[in-house]
Amino acid sequence: MPGVLETDLVDASGSMSVAAAAGAWLAAQLGDFSWDRRTMRLTRSRPPRTEEIVVYHDRYRMRVGVWVRDADLGAWCAAKHSVFPGDFLAGIGYGELSRHHREFDLKAREGRVEEVTTVLAVTRDVALPWLDLVRSPDRLVAEAAPSTFAAYGHRIVEWLAMIERLDLAPALLDRLMTESPTWRAPFEEGRRYAACSRNQRKKWTETRYGATYLGEVAARFVPGYAPPPVPAPPPVPGWLDVRHPLRKADGTALAVAATGAVEDRTRAWVHEAVARLGGRAVSSVSARTDLVIHGKRSGPTLDVPVMPAIDFLDLERGHARSDPTLMARMLEPYHALLNVIS
């Protein structure tokens, strides 16, 4: 059977058909998940929960996420008039569980089996352990990455209320307020919203999303919660030029080449991003190249420092957000090698 499914995967044509063949192959390898092509999900029933591995596809690029639904939570929320009715408890993308696997490229027929084998490895290494973690309220609150709570932290607080473990809710909220400081303002907006009368709520104009929902739920179930003090930002390393992080201490732009596919970004976008970061984009790797952005299916890089494409994208994201901490974390392994300190 796996041999037949591998043949189907290699022979498939069209983004959806390829993703569907990949899902069927994964289900056969995992054994206890069933594949539904209509919903593009692998499903495993562990009552009262349903665990789902969801496949998204776009132009032969596949992204994968894992979801947990809880029938008991759905019934409880319906009876308690939840902020967000339904049985969804938590979800997270593979790119957040394993940052080097944000998407999988299934365009080249000869590379499809290798790519879905990587999907299988990530599923076994991080997705299935995450599903086990979500079954334990103590482990979920203490160990899960903050991105687990990013969109549905309010559902987890409601779940804690349902199973009578609201003693864990302050620790969960403390983690979010400390590790995701941008959540503080919308969280307080949600708490103010909860205090409004019904007529006042009709006039409410704020956009409500994960953090504001969390504030609203916290006002109901953890009314005495006080967020921890705002932590002081870490100092900016002396070697980091916040405006132009790809420049040396003497102001010289680093010569940066990109090889292979940098996720779904075009080569023109990569060159423009390098320029925004203060570097100088070069078209090929040579002895004069300071840094290579290493994407999928990259060729040889000579004896030149290599930055994984995912790290470069995070560096660019940190620059766009004016986040020196993220930029420093991405450049720390390279700054000495690249003579950032003259």
- Shared domain check, 133 and 35: yes
| pLDDT on residue 199 | 67
CA atoms within 13 A on the CB side of 204: 18
Same domain, 81 and 150: yes
Res 339: pLDDT: 54
Same domain? 45 vs 189: yes
Structural domain count, the chain: 2
One domain for residues 217 and 263:
no
What values do phi and psi take at 88, rounded to 5? -75, 130
Q: For residue range 186-225, what is the model confidence (pLDDT) as tens digits?
A: 899 889 888 887 666 655 555 556 788 899 999 999 999 9
Q: Average of pLDDT values for 248-275? A: 88
Give the predicted TM-score (pTM) of the model: 0.80
Query: Residue 318's domain spans which residues?
Result: 255-331
Residue 110 shares a structural domain with residue 198: yes
Report the alpha-carbon angle 173-92-172, nearest 5. 10
The enclosing domain of 288 has a CATH number of: 3.40.50.10190
Residue 189: inside a domain, yes or no?
A: yes
Q: Residue 338 falls within a domain, yes or no?
A: no
**Are residues 179 and 48 both part of a single domain?**
yes
- Whether 242 contacts 322, CB under 8 Å: yes
Tens digit of each residue's pLDDT (9 = 90 or more) over 111-122: 899 999 999 999
42 found inside a domain: yes
- 190 lies in the same domain as 323: no
pLDDT tens digit string along 295-317?
877 666 678 888 988 899 999 99
Instruction: Report if residue 339 sits inside a domain.
Output: no
Query: At 183, is the pLDDT very low, low, confident or very high (cuts 50, 70, 90)?
Result: confident
Contact 141, 171 (CB under 8 A): yes
| Residue 341, pLDDT score | 42
* Mean pLDDT of the region 336-342: 52
Do 12 and 116 sit in the same domain of this protein? Answer: yes
- Give the C-alpha separation, 240 to 247, whole Å: 9
